[in-house]
Structure 1
Amino acid sequence: MTQRKRITFFLDALHGGGAEKAVVNLLKGLAQRNEFDLDLVLATKEGPYLDLVPPEVRIVDLNMGRAVKATLPLMSYLKKNRPWALIGNMGHVNVVALMAIKLSRIKTKLVLVEQNTVSGNQSKLKRAKLVELLMKWLYPHADAVAGVSAGVARDLEERLGLKNETVKVLNNPVVNEDLITHSQASLDHPWFAVNTPPVFLAVGRLNPQKDFLNLLNAFAQVRKQQEARLIILGEGEERPALEATIHNLGIGKDVLLPGFVKNPYVYMKHANCFVLSSRQEGLPTVLIEAMACGCPVVSTDCPSGPEEILDRGTYGLLVPIQNSAALGEAMLATLKNPPEQKLLMQRANEYSTEKVVKAYLSLLHEL
């Protein structure tokens, strides 16, 4: 009997972000095919997505806290298990994966996937600048480098000095049966009762990148013209600033910040409009998820992803980043004239787990 090939994914942990969700969905899709042994190697075994990992996947805990400390333990894992392929999914994680591969001196296909544009990283920390320098040095040694959108791919080539069209595009897997099933769960929330004001929804970490301060200012403009409510699902360091802004704008009765919610899809199913207010993205998963649930969407035209997902505004209005007036107008316009649910759902299916898994396997077999 031929021994099954092993595919390994490497991450910091399974915190509630887009990269982590993408890896979980990839593992689900690969597990359903029942063709490979699957490992998920974590620098530390923690995070709300742990219980979403399919039982067929072996979770390996390096118990190192953060990926930056995990180079030698990952090298030991590679020497012992010799996977057919190793896949990383974020800059600093990818750097560690590449160093571990080099040190282990084993033949493993290495695919490095970037979730965000490198040029959009505004961090002034020396660590962030060091990671980019290491990316420039190490990424050419990977078997394949990919961005989750064409925008991310082209940005990587320009920022890291890679040859044009050498960075592949591997979209994140977003739409699957689990998403649709969860969206159809019951939602016992008074804001979604019959004959209540329309509800806007946003989902993401409460950090500067998501620019929820911009969304709050846009929503305040909407409230001056009609009754409406806003729910922002997620947790993060900007909570105090957001709560202060809500108070200062006098919209406290119409805004909720419930924190991280394991099933945001049922909210997407019932919301009147989903809003992405980000300054920067790679391929905003939540935008696709909302469309898959049939929810009309409005997005900033940030780099990168929204323009590709919405086909330059065909499937939802695009507005400039950090422009609360334009965002508020687009929110109102979408309430008055929402697109057909069927069209949104069809577009979202371009990012199905089945299609993306096929793309990953096709690339691996080419290497």
Structure 2
Amino acid sequence: MKIAFFYEGLKPGGVEHMIANLSHDLIARGHSLTLILAGAPTPRDYPVAPGVGVHWLRHPTSSARGTIVTLARMLRAGRYDIVLSAMPQFNNAAVIARLLSGTKARNVLTERTNPQADYARLVGWKQKAWHKAAMLAYPFASEIVAVSAGLADSLARFARLDRNRITVIHNPAYRPHVHGPEAAHPWTRDANGPVIVAAGRLVEQKDFATLLRALALVERQDVRAVIFGDGPLRAELEALIAQLNLTERVALPGFVPDITPSIAAAGCFVLSSAWEGFGNVLIEALGAGASIVTTDCPDGPREIVADGRFGALVPVGDAPAMAHAIDAMLRAPAAPERQVARARDFSVAIACDRYEAVFRRALGA
């Protein structure tokens, strides 16, 4: 099959991680894959498989709407079988471009995060209207994929779709890693007490403020937290760290390309998000054999930890409940081999099998 994937870019993020992981298996299985990306490359981009074609449209604002005509022209020239895209703004543009192209390509749209939660935080009527255009564009797609069952339910309500039209394919987030302990954060190697790892952009969605408040409440005062990631709330979180007297107990090292060694060395991972589409980082934590505490946020974490079998679930924004769960995790950590076995349920090979089935269905095969 000849597949085009349309999105913003390859900088760190859930969608980008998904397509980078998937690219290796798609190429290995004999498919042709071309990435048509609205933005421009960055030094932090995820590497894709050799043999993948990459076209950067270099739109000044990485706008999906601003690239529709160019995308239509590229689809016409490339004669693709499948146009794969992700997130409402790029899904809408991909559908319109495919219609303008006049080709027989099939749109496969993927939803990665809660569309209603994203819509509520958009500013300006143009952005909101474009997001809502999913109700008009999505029915023209051949296939629609959501990365969790909860997200599929949310998308059906938001875009007024028949829930039966949406296929659930969990993110291909698990790949075995082999790293020496020297690659881990120094705190995980200094034997000065337990370390909790968290990761994500420093934004409202990840709610690291609740994690910090929970850390201040845990019974053991030698517990430290390393929170990987960058974002606009860094100064706000640093002020909260000082206010809670956690300066010596919290590290914000910024973006690190591979956090798996640190998760494996620490053995403890906490996700504090207010909402997710799936929660790739939980799969990384499982694959590293770590014990997990996660919020029971929409959508994905409950499915990943199987209703609490592979990690403790706590209410969103509840610092005392999170502190209690962290205490319990430190007292009775999960068996690493059991966690890794669960992570294998989210392997790239399994996801690729399911995407191939969706592509064949879209083509009527």
TM-score normalised per structure 1? 0.94
Give me the whole-angstrom Cα distance separating, in 2, the residues matched to 1:18 and 1:194.
31
Q: TM-score, normalised by structure 2?
A: 0.95
Partner of 1:256: 251
Structure 1 residue identity aligned to 2:114: T
Map 1:191-230 → 2, pairs under 5 A: 191-193=187-189, 195-222=191-218, 225-230=220-225
Aligned counterpart for 2:49 among listed residues 47, 54, 79: 54
Corresponding residue of 1:318: 313
Query: 1:51: how far off?
Result: 5.3
Distance in 2 of aligned mates of 1:79 and 1:103: 9
Counterpart position of 2:100: 103
Residue of structure 2 equivalent to 1:169 = 168
> What are the equivalent positions in structure 2 for 1:207-356 lying under 5 Å apart?
207-222=203-218, 225-356=220-351
Structure 1 residue matching 2:84: 3-state secondary structure: strand
Q: Deviations over 1:278-304 (max 9, x none)?
A: 000011000011100101110000001
Per-residue deviation, residues 54-113 of structure 1 (Å, max 9, x unmatched): 221111111213123111111111011011111001111111111111111111111000
Which whole-Å CA distance do the structure 2 matches of 1:236 and 1:120 have between them? 19
SS in 1 for 2:77: helix
1:70 equivalent in alignment to 2:58: no
3-state secondary structure, aligned to 2:83: strand
2: CA distance between counterparts of 1:25 and 1:270?
23
Measure, in 2, the Cα distance between the counterparts of 1:203 and 1:190: 16
Over the aligned positions, Cα root-mean-square deviation in angstroms equals 1.4
1:13 equivalent to 2:48? Answer: no
Deviation at 1:31, TM superposition (A): 1.9
CA contact (8 A) 2:10 2:46 kept: no
Q: Unpaired segments of 5 or more residues in structure 1?
A: none
Q: How does 1:5-44 map to 2 (within 5 A)?
A: 5-33=1-29, 35-44=30-39
Matched-pair contact (CA < 8 Å) for 1:272–1:335: no
C-alpha deviations, 1:219-238, integer Å up to 9, x for none?
Answer: 1112x543111000001011
| 8 Å Cα contact 2:271-2:294 kept in structure 1 | yes
Q: Structure 1 pair 344/325, CA: closer, same or farther in 2 (3 Å)?
A: same
8 Å Cα contact 1:9/1:41 also seen in 2: yes
Q: Which amino acid is 2:172 matched to?
A: P
Secondary structure of residue in 1 paired with 2:307: coil
Q: State the distance in 1 between where 2:117 and 2:46 align.
A: 32
Question: Residue by residue, what CA displacement relative to the aligned partner does 1:145-167 show, whole Å, maximum 9, x if unpaired?
Answer: 11100111111111211113221
- After the TM superposition, list the runs of 4 or more consecutive aligned residues in structure 1 that deviate by more than 6 angstroms: none
CA distance in 2, matches of 1:132, 1:214: 29
Give aligned pairs, total: 358
1:162-189 CA deviation, whole Å, 9 max, x = no partner? 1132211121101124xx13x4463364
Give the Cα–Cα distance (whole angstroms) in 1 for the partners of residues 140 and 276 of structure 2.
26
Q: 1:294 to 1:326 in 2, by over 3 A?
A: same
Amino acid at match of 1:105: G
**Are 1:154 and 2:153 matched, yes or no?**
yes
Counterpart CA distance in 2 for 1:57 and 1:90 is: 21
The alpha-carbon distance between structure 1 residues 49 and 351, as it changes in their structure 2 partners (threshold 3 A), is farther
For 2:84, the aligned partner's letter is I
Query: Counterparts of 2:325 and 2:146 in 1: how far apart (Å)?
Result: 29
1:131 offset after TM fit, Å?
Answer: 2.6
Q: How far apart, in 2, do the equivalents of 1:113 and 1:72 lie? A: 21
Moved more, 205-214 or 266-275: 266-275
Distance 1:17 1:97, change over 3 A: same
